[in-house]
Every structure is written in structure tokens, then in C-alpha cells.
Structure 1
Amino acid sequence: MGRRPTINDVALAAGVSVATVSKAVNGRYGVAVETVERVLQVVQELGYESSLVASSMRARQTGVIGVLVADFEPFSAEILKGVGAALHESRYDLLAYSGSRQLSPEGWERRSLSRLSGTLIDGVIMVTPTVVNVSAEVPIVAIDPHTGPADLPTVESDSFGGAKLATEHLLSLGHRRIAFVAGRPDLRSSSLRDAGYRRALAEAGIPFDPSLVAVGRYEQDTVREAAHRLLIRSDRPTAVFAANDLSAIAVIEVATELGLDVPGELSVVGFDDVPEATQSTPPLTTVRQPMQRLGSAAAELVVSLLNGGTPEKTHLRLPTRLVRRGTTAPPAVPPSV
């Protein structure tokens, strides 16, 4: 046979239905013992054991680690690079999966896990999950999890410290009216970036102004609307700290459309240091979080759990640092009113 055997080939050769083959190879009830034996014999004869399902039936392992992401965007792409690098020398393959969020944006992880765990994957890495109180038949590690308590092993960056660094950088340049474009309120990292921004202002003796905080939710249209409202004010901010790089780039685009020079009339700082940060005009000053390291650390945790190990730490927080580029400068002398 010149092609890989399919479940239909097994069913035809064994004289049973596709459903019966599926039950037999997955060890489900409802199939007579002699039928199971006949199906498994055909599986062996045809070489169908090379498929993930048949292999998992025999070894109870597939040699695959799944990475569940809500969307394939720059942040998750960098995470995947880190996971792939960590697994390169291991016996595990990588399966990236993005489940549909159309029916319910919240809880997409549960649906994805029910489809993949137990048959296709040995372990799971969930990226920015909306929930962490999930269970599965396989080890799970969460990257940048939901605000709620996390019983699962987690890996995240120092969002609080990074946001504080970004705001302190703007303060050191002389800015006092610093706006913040926040991310998703349900993510712990977003809340921590908000808290880091406020802490830096408080330590500098700058009163917190809630009117300078806009929630962008990491959604481009929402960020652009928020930036437009901030920048058309007569008392507009002289600087904006955005909770991620794509939001910061959207702020720069809106500022340019309004005729504001960056950084001459408006300084902008992002968070992440995705590849797009160096390609913006001007190149974006940002807080670098080790995105690929987040992925590799999560992969190492999953592999350790799969090997029966007990990791020293199951809640990892990685450091962040400020990267100065071309979008920040001292504030211009405010125009006389």
C-alpha cells in the first residue's frame, strides 16, 4: 500500500465499521473481545499503529505536547518558538492548536482539552488561558494565566516590575502626565502592569488620574479609540505607556494621524518586545519580557512532570527589562493657553 493506512482501511479489512475500529483502538466498551483482537491484528498488519491514536492505545503516550493558544499573534508566536527550541532535542513533538472562540470566548481551553487530551497529546501548555481551574488526563502548565488563583503550574514574566520600569523611565525624562492603555482585565499580567504603573506614579509623588487610564483589551480597534480620546484632549498626556507592543504601535499610528510627532510631542512605551517593535517608526521603546524563555520554561516543566519528576518550582516568574529605542524623549514645552 503506497499511502498511510487510514481507519477506513482498517475497518474494511477487519469487516467492521469505522466506529467499531475507533472503539477498539481506544479501549472503549461495547466491542466484543474477539472483535477487538481482530481489529488490532489488522492494525498491526496494515501498519496503522504509526498513527497517533493507535500508538497512544499501545503505549498510552503519543510523544506530542500540545500548545493551546487563543490566537496566533506575535506573543504566542514567540512562545511557540521557545517551546519548539526546548523540545528540539527531546523525544516530544509540538502540536499548536487554536480552538474556536466564536461560541464562548471564555472557557475555550476546556473544549480544546477535551478534544486533544488522552488520545493526541501527552501534555499541555496553555497560553494566556481565561480559566485555570481545568483538569485533564495529562500534565498542564499555564503561561500568563487568568487573574484567578492558579492551582496549575504557571510561568509568567515580572509584569509589575516591568510596568514600573516603563513608567519610571518616562518620569525620569520629565513626564508628569502619563497615560496608561491597559490590556485584558481578566489577565493577571494586565492587572499587574496597571499596578506597576500606579506604584511608580505614587513613589514619584504624582497623583493618580483615572481619566488617563483607558482599557484597550489588546484589541486594535478598541486601542485606537482609546488613544484617540486621550490625544484629542486639550490637556492631553505627554506620554503613553501601553500594556503591550501592538497597542503601543496603534497609539503611535493614531498620534501620527493627529499630526503629533513621536517622540517630540508624545513619548510612547510598550511591553513585550515583539519583532514588530523594532520595525515601527520610530523603533519602539519597550519592556522586554523573555517570551521564548517563557515557552521553553513551560516545556521543561511539562517534560519534567511527564517523566515523573517533582520540579523545584511550579510557579515561575521571569525578569523583564527596559529596552530604550526611539519613541521616548523629554516632554516638549507645553503650549501656552
Structure 2
Amino acid sequence: MIDRQLPAVRGRWRGDRSVAEIAQLAGVSQPTVSKVLNGRAGVGESTRRRVETLLREHGYRRPSGPPGTAGIEVLMSGMLGSIAIEVVRGIEDVAATRDLTVSLTDIRRRAAAGQSWIEPLLLRRPVGVVAAFAGFTTEHLELLDASGIPVVTLDPVVDQHRTPSVGCNNWSGALAATRHLLDLGHHRIAVITGPVKDLSSRARFDGFRAALDAAEVPYDETLRRSGVFTFEDGRDLALEVLSHPDRPTAVVCGDDLQALGVYEAARLRDLRIPGDLSVVGFDDIEHCLWAGPPMTTVRQPFAELGAAAARLVLSLAAGDKPSQHRVELAATLVVRASTAPPAAN
């Protein structure tokens, strides 16, 4: 017997219960319900009948329009505004060539309001999804796959199994940044990274280490700090490494916000940039030009990343098999006034 004691929740998707609740009532997974709802194969006949009965009882209908009428859906959460604009601009440039629209869902805002984002997205049935946020789970991927909606992740935080992704070459970017400091004569170089579980953070740290190893400069673990990509973490972690008895003469940062935090830490320690401390960021957000002095950083081509993700997801939607699982674009070192040779002792 099927337990129907769950409280009804009106106004969700196309019935009086969410897909998750229908799945619980039927004793199956959410992707299975999505497959039945969208008329896809891969579900046993008895299970399909059980799910279809529940869908009818709760007022669900298969989507009436053709798939893809909503264009490309972009999922973001907490991304810096200037970066988000560039990413969306690149996606829109590609979408416009196909007469497609681009929709943006702010996951953080919907979560803060206690709202679901996956079911409204399934209702819109976009041609494809570009996901640029850290909370994309295997369950989300299965639901979208069951609905026939392809997904491309943008610089994923963790390995998303078989999901195609687009990003920049974080390793080579960090390698170039560190080599630049080594070529200036720095040997006491601190590194502030992002979260240790973050794939891009690990790649940037590996690039940093590779540059030191190639130059036969010893790596000092006491000059490494890991945090999150924020101004506050950059400031606080830099204050720690700048208190080291043998203070570093340069700092490589995981992103530009951390690097701006290092600027503040240097100010608090009465250190001049670049006279006493050279600083390199990563991303090349617009704030780098406004910093005093303008910041040396590694530029990520955000508009090009968005365009590459859009081309890839549209290719998947057309049924093409991607020639490569991961698309990587080049990162470019942009040298400005925050780096200089170390002061003579």
C-alpha cells in the first residue's frame, strides 16, 4: 500500500506535490519520476504505471510545448557581479546566433527565500543548462538527464563524473604568475589558496609548486595558507604570513579578492606594494585596475568561457558527442605595478 500521509504542498511545478514527494510516495528516485513525466525510457512497466497513477492523482501533465523553448539556462550562486556579466555576455553572444534566449537563476537568492530551483527549471525545459555554482549535485544531474536536458559545468569545484565542463588552465596561470616573481628575484614567496577541495584551487597550487620546483627554489609550507575567495580571508591570512620571522617578499593569491585583502594587510603592517611586498592575483576583475598600485594578475577570459560553454551545451542538445570532456582556455598573466624585484637587504 502506498502511504499518502505527506502534507500537500500547492503551487509546486504542475501538481499539488513536488517531484521529490511523488518519488517518496511511489518508492522510487526523483530521476525515475522525471523519466516517467517526460515519457523517457529506462523505467519498468509496473513502476511506470505506479508513478503515472500518482502523477494523474496530483494533477501532473507532461510538458505541452516542444523542448527547448526557454533557450539556455544559466545557474549561478554568489558569483562576483562583474564576472557573472562577462560569462552571461559570452553565452548570449552564442545564443543570439541560434535565436535563443538566456535565462539566469540565482541559486543563493532562491535558497535564502526557501524556494526550489530545480523544479521550475524542469518546467521551463531549456535547451541546455550552464551551471556555474558549487552546489550542483549528482541528483540534480540525474534529474536533468532524465528530462533530456544537457548540462555543462563552468569551472566545477569538484569532479562532476561524466559531465562536460569548461574552464581556464588554472595550472599554467599559476605557473606563469610564480615564474614572474622568480624572474624578478623573489625566493620567499607565500601562497594563499582557495578551498582545498576546490579543483581550481588545487590546480593553481600545483602550478605554483611546479614553478618553484623548476627553479630549484625550496617550498616552505609555513608560507602557505588556505581559505575562501574573499577579501576578508585574504587580509587575515596575509596578516599571518606577514608575521613570519622571515617575512615573504611576495604573495601569490588564489583570486583577486584575496589579493586585495593582501593589500589591506600590507597597509596594516606598514608595508609598501611593491617596494616591500609584491602581490599577484588571479581572475583580472575590474577592481585590479582601481587598486593602488594596479594589480598584476592572471586573466581568465570569462566571456570566452561562457561562449565555449554555450557552444558545448548546444552541441550536446543537438545530439552530438563532444570530442573532449573538458574544454580549457588559456589564462594570461597581466603584469601591472604590484610586482617588482625584492628590496635589497
TM-score range, shorter chain: 0.7 to 0.9
Post-superposition CA distance 1:94-140 (Å, at most 9, x none): 11112138979xxx9xx633441243533111114345633212100
Work out whether 1:145 is the aligned partner of 2:156: yes
**Whole-Å separation in 2 of the counterparts to 1:21 and 1:198:** 49
Structure 1 gap segments, 5+ residues each: 1-17, 37-53
The match for 1:119 among 111, 117, 124 is: 124
1:86 aligns with one of 85, 91, 94: 94
1:48 aligned partner? none
Q: 1:268 is matched by which residue type in structure 2?
A: V
Structure 1 residue 174: deviation in Å?
Answer: 0.3
In the TM superposition, structure 1's runs of 4+ consecutive aligned residues that sit over 4 Å from their partners are: 18-24, 101-104
| One-letter amino acid of the structure 2 residue matched with residue 116 of structure 1 | L
Deviates more, 1:79-88 or 1:298-307: 79-88
2: CA distance, partners of 1:97 / 1:21? 16
Q: 1:80 and 1:31 mapped to 2: Cα distance?
A: 37
Size of the alignment, in residue pairs?
A: 291
Q: For residue 72 of structure 2, what is the aligned residue in structure 1?
A: 65
Letter in 1 for 2:56: Y
C-alpha distance in 2 between matches for 1:309 and 1:157:
23
* Aligned counterpart, 1:277: 288
**Cα shift readout 1:212-245 (whole Å, capped 9, x = no counterpart):** 1111210232221101111233311100000111
1:199-214 matched pairs, under 5 angstroms = 199-214=210-225
- Asked if 1 retains the 8 angstrom alpha-carbon contact of 2:271 and 2:277, the reply is yes
Alignment of 1:301 with 2:312, yes or no, is yes
Check the 8 A contact 2:75/2:133 in 1, yes or no.
Answer: no
Higher alpha-carbon deviation: 225-234 or 177-186:
225-234
Looking at structure 1, the residues matched to 251 and 222 of structure 2 have their Cα atoms a distance apart, in angstroms, of 13
Taking the aligned partners of 1:20 and 1:200, their CA distance within structure 2 comes to 53
Residue 217 to residue 23, structure 1, CA distance change in 2 (3 Å): closer
Is the Cα–Cα contact under 8 Å of residues 130 and 145 in structure 1 kept in the other structure?
no
| Residue of structure 2 equivalent to 1:75 | 83
Alignment root-mean-square deviation, CA: 2.9
Partner SS state of residue 96, structure 1: strand
Counting only pairs closer than 5 Å after superposition, residues 1-337 of structure 1 correspond to structure 2 as: 22-23=14-15, 28-30=55-57, 57-73=64-80, 74-100=82-108, 112-131=117-136, 133=138, 134-135=141-142, 136=144, 137=147, 138-148=149-159, 150-334=161-345
Q: Distance in 1 between matches of 2:302 and 2:170?
A: 12
1:19–1:280 distance in 2 versus 1, CA, 3 Å: closer
Percent same amino acid among aligned pairs? 33
Find the aligned partners of 1:132 and 1:290 in 2 and give their Cα distance.
26
Conservation of the 8 A alpha-carbon contact between 1:127 and 1:144: yes
Secondary structure of 1:117's aligned partner: helix
Q: Write the distance in 1 (CA, Å) between the matches of 2:93 and 2:160.
A: 29
Unaligned runs of at least 5 residues, structure 2: 1-9, 17-36, 39-54
Evaluate the alpha carbon distance shift between residue 186 and residue 31 of structure 1 in structure 2; reply closer, same or farther with a 3 A threshold.
Answer: closer
CA 1:185–1:31: 2 relative to 1, 3 Å: closer
CA–CA separation in structure 2 for the residues paired with 1:20 and 1:187: 33
Aligned pair in 2 of structure 1 residues 180, 307: CA closer, same or farther (>3 Å)?
A: same
1:132–1:145 CA contact under 8 A, matched in 2: no
1:172 to 1:88, Cα distance in 2 relative to 1, 3 A: same
Partner SS, residue 74 of structure 2? strand
Q: CA deviation at 1:160?
A: 0.5
* Partner secondary structure for residue 216 of structure 2: coil
Q: CA deviation at 1:320?
A: 1.3
The whole-number CA distance in structure 1 between the counterparts of 2:296 and 2:342 is: 15
- The 3-state SS of whatever aligns with 1:286 is strand
Distance 1:21 1:180 in 2: 47
Give the Cα–Cα distance (whole angstroms) in 1 for the partners of residues 328 and 128 of structure 2: 21
Shift of 1:80: 1.8
On the 8 A contact 1:124/1:141 being kept in 2, the answer is yes
- Residues 307 and 236 of structure 1, relative CA distance in 2, 3 Å threshold: same
Q: Distance in 2 between matches of 1:57 and 1:159?
A: 43
